[in-house]
Amino acid sequence: QVQLVESGGGSVPAGGSLRLSCAASGRTDTTNCMGWFRQVPGKEREGVANIDTLQDITYLADSVKGRFNISYDNAKRTVYLQMNNLKPEDTAMYYCATGWVRRSTTCLASLADFGDRGQGTQITVSS
């Protein structure tokens, strides 16, 4: 099992930036997929960004490409989500999650189904 502790988040006006951090501990050797998904009440969960921690391959959802960036510090076992040019539609609860996937291309879609996840952090973007 992996423990995840998130930090960052908050409220910003449209166009602003925020950075989320997610520090992992425990059996991180059992995972290769780490990233963020978000959820808005009444809507489906959406994978936002992920990284294959073994191959250093990243994927971003189309809705955040060009605005968000994900990175991983292997020494700290921490994943970062840099969010720029935030929009009101980015308002959601953001969760960090990690697990194992056979193929990197399936990581983004799998994040919301992983059992190892953080407590969630709220992002609110005002117009």
Q: Which pLDDT tens digit goes with each residue over 3-27? A: 999 999 999 999 999 999 999 999 9
Instruction: Mark residue 63 as left, alpha or beta (left: phi above 0; alpha: psi -120 to 50; beta: remaining).
Output: alpha
The one-character DSSP state at 113 is G
Q: According to the model, what pLDDT value does residue 120 have?
A: 95
User: Among candidates 81, 25, 30, which has minimal Cα distance to 58?
Assistant: 81
The whole-number pLDDT of residue 59 equals 95
pLDDT tens digits, one per residue of 99-127: 999 998 899 999 999 999 999 999 999 99
Among candidates 33, 20, 23, 48, which has minimal Cα distance to 115? Answer: 33
pLDDT tens, position by position, 30-79: 999 999 999 999 999 999 999 999 999 999 999 999 999 999 999 999 99
pLDDT of residue 110: 93
The CA distance from 98 to 112, in Å, is: 9
pLDDT of res. 102: 94
